[in-house]
Homo-oligomer: A and B are copies of this chain.
Amino acid sequence: MKILDANGQPDLRKTARRGRAARRSVVPDIKSPRARKIPAYTLLNENALKAIEDQADWILQNIGVEFCSDKTALDLFAAAGATVVGEKVTFEPGLARQLCATAPAKFELHARDPANTVLLGGDKVVLMPGYGSPFVSDLEKGRRYATLTDFENFVKLSYSTPWLHHSGGTVCEPTDVPVNKRHLDMVLAHLTLSSKPFMGGVTSLERAQDGIDMARLVFGAAFMEDHAVMQGNINVNSPLIFDDTMSGALRVYAAANQCVCVSPSIFAGAMGPLSPAAVAAQTLAEGMVGIALAQLVRPGCPVVFGSFHSTMNLKSGALAFGSPEANLVTMALSQLGRRLGVPVRSGGGQISASNAPDGQAMQDSTGAMWATLLSGAHQVWHAAGWLEGGLVMSYEKFIMDLDHCGAMMTLLQGFETDEEAFGRDAYHETGPGQNFLSTQHTLRHFATANFQPDIPEAGPYETWVENGSHTADQRATARWKRMLDDYKAPPMAEGIYKALTDFVATRKAAMPDAWY
C-alpha cells in the first residue's frame, strides 16, 4: 500500500483540489461499498418536521442556552445578533438555523491513506467503533478496566475490517495512562496503527490542540488549512449547557478547520422532557447552537450534527438503549439534520444496555442500527463493540457487530433488476419442479452472490452439539484473535513516525502525571 510520497508527505494530489468544489467530489469506493443506493426512510411528514423545528426555535427563544465561562463564545453570539444576558444566549426564531448556513452539506474527511478518505454527507455512510468505554471484556479474560493495549487492539481491529470506515476516537479509555496524557497515546495509535480517519481529544483546549498538532506532523499544516483530517466530539452538557471545556475544544477544532461534531446528550425524562418529539426538538436546538458557534469561529468549517440519546425505565431509572422510542428519535433526527443541510451522526448505532453479548444485546443493537441506517444517517458511532450502555467494549460483540455492519452495508446496496439478475436462461435450462443449483446462471454468480459473515456458521444441530454447542459470541473469539495475529501496520515514513513519538515524549515530559 503506497501511502506517503518521496518526502514522507501524504500522497493526496488526486484529492488535493481546493475549496467547496473539491469537498463535493466523491471518493471512489475501494475497500467496501460506502454509499447507500436505496432511499432513506421518511418517518415524519412536513407538518411533524415543522412542528419539531418550531419547538427548537421556541426553546432557543424562550429558554436559551448557557455557555459557562466562555466569554469568547458569548461575544461571538452577541456580535451575530443573538441576545446574551449573563452566560445565557437566546435566539430569535430562525437565527440559529441561519447561522448554520455556512456549514458544508458534505465534505471529505481525509485519511493518511487516500483510499481510506471518506465523504461525510450525501449518500455516504461512515461506520466507526464504540466510543468512551472505561471497561473491556472478552470471553477468556472477562470484564476488566481497559488499558492502552486494549485501545491499540481495537484500533488494529477497526483498521483490519472493511466494515468500519473510521478509526473512532476514545474507542476505550486507556485507564493505565494518566488522564492528562491519554490523548497523546490515543492520537498516536490512530495515526500510526491505522490509516483511516480518526477523532482527537476534547477534554481540554490544550489536549485538543495537541491532537491537531500531531495531525499536522502527518498531513502538513498547510494541507489541514483547507482539508479536514480529524474530528472532535463536542458533547453538549444537556439540557442546554455548553461547559467551557467543550465550547473551548469546539473553538479549537473550528479554528483549525477540522470537523466539529456536536452531540447533545439527552436521556428522555432526565435531560429533557420524556417524549420523542421533545428529545428531537431539544437535540436540534442544542445541535444548531453548537454548529452556529463553529461557523462563527470559522465560516465554512466542517461540522456534523450529532446526537446521543436514550429512553430510561422511568420506574427503575435504568437506561434502555435500542428502545422503540429512542429508535423513533434516531429516525427523526436523520431527517431533521438533512433538512438543516449538514451531515448527520446518528444517536443510534449498535447499542445496548445488556451486560453480555447475548440475545438482548443483539436485539437492541440490530434494531438501533436499522433505525440509524434506514433513516439516512451519514456517520455512525458505536457501530461495533458497545455493551452495558457504553461501559464496556466487548471483543466478541465487536466481531458480531462487524458481521451486521457488513450485512447492513450490503442491504444498503439494494439489488439490480436488469436482465442478468432475472436469469431467464436458467428457466430455459430447468423448468417447473427442477433445481436451479447447477444452472449456468447460478454458476456465474454463486461465488459473489451473497454477503458472507465472518463468524463461522453454527451448522446442523447435531454437528454443533458435537463441537460444543458454541453460541455466536463463543464462535467470535477465534476471529478477533486471528485478526490481531494477522494485523499489519500501515507503513509510515520513518521521519514522520519519529516526529510523532518525539512530540508525545516531549509533551509527556512537560507535565506531571494527573488523573483528572
Contacts and interface: CB of A to CB of B under 8 A. Distances in A.
B391 A436 contact: no
Contacts of A41: 41, 374
A98 interface: no
Contacts of A311: 449-450
B358 A471 contact: yes
Contacts of A434: 239
A435 B317 CA distance: 13
Interface string A40-56: 01111001100110010
A461 to B, nearest CB: 5
A455 B324 CA distance: 16
A417 interface: yes
A162 B366 CA distance: 23
A365 to B, nearest CB: 8
Contact of A38 (B43, B277, B320): B43
A217 B341 CA distance: 63
6 contacts: A269-B442, A277-B415, A311-B449, A323-B450, A361-B472, A363-B366
Interface string A52-71: 10010011001111100000
A423 B278 contact: yes
B422 A273 contact: yes
Interface of A: 38-39, 41-44, 47-48, 51-52, 55, 58-59, 62-66, 88, 143, 237, 239-241, 268-278, 281, 311-316, 318, 320, 323-325, 327-328, 332, 353-363, 365-367, 370, 374, 388, 391, 397, 400, 403-404, 407-408, 410-411, 414-418, 421-424, 426-428, 430-437, 439, 441-442, 445-447, 449-452, 455, 457-459, 461, 464, 469, 471-473
B66 A432 contact: yes
Contact of A430 (B239, B327, B374): B239
Given A328-B415, A363-B366, A442-B269, A471 B356 contact: yes
Given A276-B421, A358-B471, 7 more contacts: A44-B417, A273-B439, A275-B445, A314-B447, A314-B449, A324-B411, A362-B362
Closest 3 CB pairs of A and B: A273-B423, A360-B472, A240-B432
A410 B418 CA distance: 38
Contact of A274 (B239, B418, B445): B445
Looking at A278, A320, A430, A431, the one whose CB has the most chain B CB atoms below 10 A away is: A278
